[in-house]
Structure 1
Amino acid sequence: MHTYTYAQVDNISLENNHKITGIDIGKVQLKLNTLVYVKNNEYFNEMADGYTLIGYYVNPTVGYKIHKKVQIDAGVFVRKEYGHNGLKEIEPTFTVQIKQKDWRFLFGNIEGNVNHRLIEPLMTFERVLTQPLEHGFQAKYQKKEAFFDGWLDWQQTTIAGRTNQERIWAGVSCYSPAVSIKDIKFQALAQASVLHMGGQNIQSLLPVRTLINPAAGLRIKKNFGKNQSVTIDNYYVGYFESPLQGSAYYLNSYWRNPKYQVGFSYWFGSFFNSPFGNDLMQSSSRKFNNEGYYENTRSLLIIRLVRDWKISKQVSVSLRVEPYYDFNSRIFEHSEGLYLNCKI
């Protein structure tokens, strides 16, 4: 039975990691990670835009292990969005990784987006499509149910005299070891996201900003038979940006087996904002041409339906349908996505 842990549904099929495996010292290994996707948001509300993302990305890399604890991966990342001429993104990738027992330390391109296993209010699932690359350094720990991920993603730099601010995103995501009581597992959950925008000696009229979003929760999990489980996750989530602050409750439950996942999430946010969180959960509208629209509280019920196909060890397909109901606006809307992931 796998020991991966998630807050809403299991996203392991979309993770892309640099684990030190399968390479002999002094040998070269070719690797390929590919994702083909279509995601459709049928939104007509005042908070988030409706749109469709369709395209693919390809990341071939060469792995070289220079020591039993040190590995280097270098490659190129190419992303294409259908409907646009040319490529959406083309970037070199480079990662140096050091392994020490159950810890891994990454420098360069880090394991980002869904690999952080953040809850949707802190980081929207769509970053795996729109912001697949992160750069900086990262410390990760995994042992059975226990998990830790601490990182710094340097998103934008600046030079003295320029107008653009530097943008630095740091975060932590961790789950404690599980404590079992009569075959029911309990875990403490803690996460945080910090975005800083500023810089010294720059010619910008924009204010220096630091946005902080902490979250703390409790997981209750019961396994049934082979690879089947029911999980309940409850979080208290905060928002701090001097002098502003807000809070929220995020309640989740989901059932999963190797092919299906069914989840229910309830969100109640009060004066809540998170720079990379799901648009639907914010108090400030992110809808095009709707700047300034604000809702003091947001109350949502989200249903998550997932069907996974494991075609082979290297290829998997995931179909996701997520209808939701907005209690404030009394509207029912939905999104759906199909993802083909290939790891060689």
Structure 2
Amino acid sequence: METAQAQLDNRAFIGNRPGQLKYTYISRNPDGPDTKLDDSLRRESQQRAREDSVSSGDLRLSLNAFVFFKDNEYFNKIIDGYTLYGTHLNPQLVYYPSQNLRLEGGVFLWKDFGNPVLKAVRPTFRATWTHGKQQLIFGNIRPHLHHNYIEPMFNFERVMLNPLEEGIQTVIRTHRFFLDQWVDWQRQQYRYSNYQEEVAGGLSTSYRTSRDGSRWTTTIPFQFTAIHHGGQIDTLDKPLQTVFNGALGLETRYLLQRPTMQAVRFQGYVLGYQDYSFTRNQFPYRNGWGLYLNGTLESRILDVMVSYWQGQRFLSPLGGDFYQSASRTVSDPGFLDPHRKIIMVRLMRDIRISDAAAITARVEPVYDLNSGALDYSLAMYFNFRQEWLLGNIGRRTRVGQ
């Protein structure tokens, strides 16, 4: 079963094993399999399958730890320069009432460096029912990067700034098809509230058209997001907001099978924006569109991606700041760039520490073709995720039975 990817390879952020990276095994013979490596991979895959197997009644302890550093050296009128530096910690107990039902409960802690007070302390609960290739997830759904959106549709920084999403999610994953349908209930409204309810949701799909075993992999992705702010029981005289974004693309990847150079990849997307709010003029544009092109060279040492973005009156409430045609800055909130054009280069590397841990380093210079400004960001992330089996409480005799 292949891992669905959108714009970037983010498996260190979302995989069960952050350190199980894509270049762990590289055949020495580009014209055929290496027997020794194939045997090693088979034995390790069997060992991991045994570790991942569950039984009814299993009780486990899980720990998710994430340390982030992102320095945005931005000096423009669309997006502010700032630094994100902190850590997320999410210990949980995991229980399997049956093999296809997973219950997780714990606490989420968010601490920004340079701030003695915790940014957030929130309980977490997730119920995941697996039925064949389909999963239904309730509670704390699998958020942000798990949806596999491109950055103009969904901001990468949500992994740091919006780490939790709560609602319902449906995930279907086969060797050809990926689907993630989700609803995130962001703010609950009550009678006489002085604020609106806020809800977001979307659909992310990808279908592989290339045949199995081919060095060419071609997929057709479709992505959709929507946000709604409103409600009928608040005390505000504020109009409703409803905004849709969509993207249709073509992705192709060619496997090079060389010791250093692994693959080349191209992605092309056409995006749309539409404001369906009943009350006009809440946003500077009623509709817009965008063109997004990415070319990537994947190597064992470094991945290099070159991106071109052209946005015509494009807005995306959930999307990355750099792709907007309206300012999100503190100093220039009214600035507009209706015909936005930028070129971005990404230098990316994942460093394996163990199966449970990995470090990700990224450098991203951005050139604004309209203003001639060159900005950049530097980032380093540490991901740790692991589970430990505490025992099987389902096999114990309960008192009174």
TM-score by shorter chain over 0.5: yes
Q: Secondary structure at the match of 2:322?
A: helix
User: Could you say which residue in structure 2 is the equivalent of 1:82?
Assistant: 113
Corresponding position: 1:142 with 2:176: no
Amino acid at match of 1:296: P
User: Could you say which residue in structure 2 is the equivalent of 1:262?
Assistant: 304
User: Could you say which residue in structure 2 is the equivalent of 1:333?
Assistant: 375
Answer whether contact 2:100 2:129 (CA < 8 A) is retained.
yes
User: Could you say which residue in structure 2 is the equivalent of 1:95?
Assistant: 126
User: Could you say which residue in structure 2 is the equivalent of 1:185?
Assistant: 217
Structure with greater Cα Rg: 2
Answer whether contact 1:252 1:263 (CA < 8 A) is retained.
yes
Q: Secondary structure at the match of 1:129?
A: helix
Q: Distance in 2 between matches of 1:306 and 1:76?
A: 31
Report the alpha carbon displacement of residue 37 of structure 1 after superposing the two structures with TM: 1.1
Corresponding position: 1:121 with 2:152: yes
Corresponding position: 1:198 with 2:240: no
Bigger relative CO (Cα 8 Å, ≥ 6 apart): 2
After superposition, give the CA deviation of every residue in 1:9-52 in whole Å (9 maximum; x if it has no partner).
2011011669x944321120001010111100000100100001
Amino acid at match of 2:320: N
User: Could you say which residue in structure 1 is the equivalent of 2:104?
Assistant: 73
Which structure features the higher share of strand residues?
A: 1
User: Could you say which residue in structure 1 is the equivalent of 2:142?
Assistant: 111
Report the alpha carbon displacement of residue 324 of structure 1 after superposing the two structures with TM: 0.9
After superposition, give the CA deviation of every residue in 1:299-334 in whole Å (9 maximum; x if it has no partner).
010101101111110010000111010001101110
Q: Distance in 1 between matches of 2:164 and 2:300?
A: 28
Amino acid at match of 2:290: A
Report the alpha carbon displacement of residue 280 of structure 1 after superposing the two structures with TM: 1.1
Q: Secondary structure at the match of 1:176?
A: strand
Q: Which moved more, 1:180-189 or 1:272-281?
A: 180-189
Q: Secondary structure at the match of 1:287?
A: coil
* Structure 2 counterpart of 1:237, from 266, 271, 293: 271
User: Could you say which residue in structure 2 is the equivalent of 1:161?
Assistant: 192
Amino acid at match of 2:78: M
Report the alpha carbon displacement of residue 336 of structure 1 after superposing the two structures with TM: 1.1
Q: Secondary structure at the match of 1:203?
A: coil
After superposition, give the CA deviation of every residue in 1:262-298 in whole Å (9 maximum; x if it has no partner).
1111100000000121111101100013222111111
Amino acid at match of 2:14: E
Amino acid at match of 1:15: I
Q: Once superposed, what is the RMSD of the aligned Cα atoms? A: 1.9
User: Could you say which residue in structure 2 is the equivalent of 1:132?
Assistant: 163
User: Could you say which residue in structure 2 is the equivalent of 1:34?
Assistant: 65
Summarize the Cα distance change of 1:99–1:258 in structure 2 as closer, same or farther, 3 Å threshold.
farther
* Structure 1 counterpart of 2:249, from 212, 217, 221: 217
Corresponding position: 1:9 with 2:8: yes
Report the alpha carbon displacement of residue 3 of structure 1 after superposing the two structures with TM: 2.8
Answer whether contact 1:269 1:298 (CA < 8 A) is retained.
yes
Amino acid at match of 2:3: Y
Summarize the Cα distance change of 1:219–1:284 in structure 2 as closer, same or farther, 3 Å threshold.
same
Amino acid at match of 1:70: L
Q: Secondary structure at the match of 1:206?
A: coil
User: Could you say which residue in structure 2 is the equivalent of 1:278?
Assistant: 320
After superposition, give the CA deviation of every residue in 1:117-159 in whole Å (9 maximum; x if it has no partner).
1110011111001111000010112223521111000000111
Q: Secondary structure at the match of 2:229?
A: strand
* Structure 2 counterpart of 1:43, from 51, 54, 74: 74
Q: Secondary structure at the match of 2:159?
A: helix
Q: Distance in 2 between matches of 1:30 and 1:7?
A: 30
After superposition, give the CA deviation of every residue in 1:223-251 in whole Å (9 maximum; x if it has no partner).
12179221111000000003610000011
- State the percentage of identical aligned residues: 34
**TM-score scaled by length of structure 1:** 0.95
After superposition, give the CA deviation of every residue in 1:43-97 in whole Å (9 maximum; x if it has no partner).
0100100001111111011110001211101111101001112101111100011
User: Could you say which residue in structure 1 is the equivalent of 2:28?
Assistant: none
Q: Secondary structure at the match of 2:354?
A: coil
Residues 298-317 of structure 1: pairs in structure 2 closer than 5 A: 298-317=340-359
Answer whether contact 2:7 2:149 (CA < 8 A) is retained.
no
Answer whether contact 2:7 2:148 (CA < 8 A) is retained.
no
User: Could you say which residue in structure 1 is the equivalent of 2:262?
Assistant: 228
**TM-score scaled by length of structure 2:** 0.82
Unaligned runs of 5+ in 2: 18-50, 281-285, 387-401
Corresponding position: 1:248 with 2:283: no
Q: Distance in 2 between matches of 1:47 and 1:70?
A: 45
Which structure features the higher share of helix residues?
A: 2
Report the alpha carbon displacement of residue 337 of structure 1 after superposing the two structures with TM: 0.5
Unaligned runs of 5+ in 1: none
Q: Distance in 2 between matches of 1:137 and 1:316?
A: 29
